[in-house]
Amino acid sequence: MSWIVVNFEANRPIPGDCSMSSFGAVVVEPGLERSFSGEPCPISERWVPEALAVSGFTRHQQKRQSMSS
């Protein structure tokens, strides 16, 4: 049996009322080499600067990601 750890950061503290700014997953095994991450496009214009800052992204970077998709 494998363990997989998943994490995500959002730009507001209310699930369902916010956009994810980043997410990732890793298989827990020696070396931690099997991993995945992504930066989805915003789905809402509502956001909290302090919540988005946790991910290390600015709102400009997050919006630019949506324009390149």
The pLDDT tens digits of the residues spanning 16-42 come to 778 888 899 999 999 999 999 988 888
Beta-strand runs (E) in 1-69: 4-10, 20-27, 35-38
In this prediction the pTM is 0.70
> 3-37 b/e with 16+ CB inside 10 Å = b?
eeeeeebbbbeeeeebbbbbbeebeeeeeeeeeee
Domain ranges for the chain: 4-67
In the chain, pLDDT over 90 holds for what percent of residues?
Answer: 29
How much is the pLDDT for 61?
78
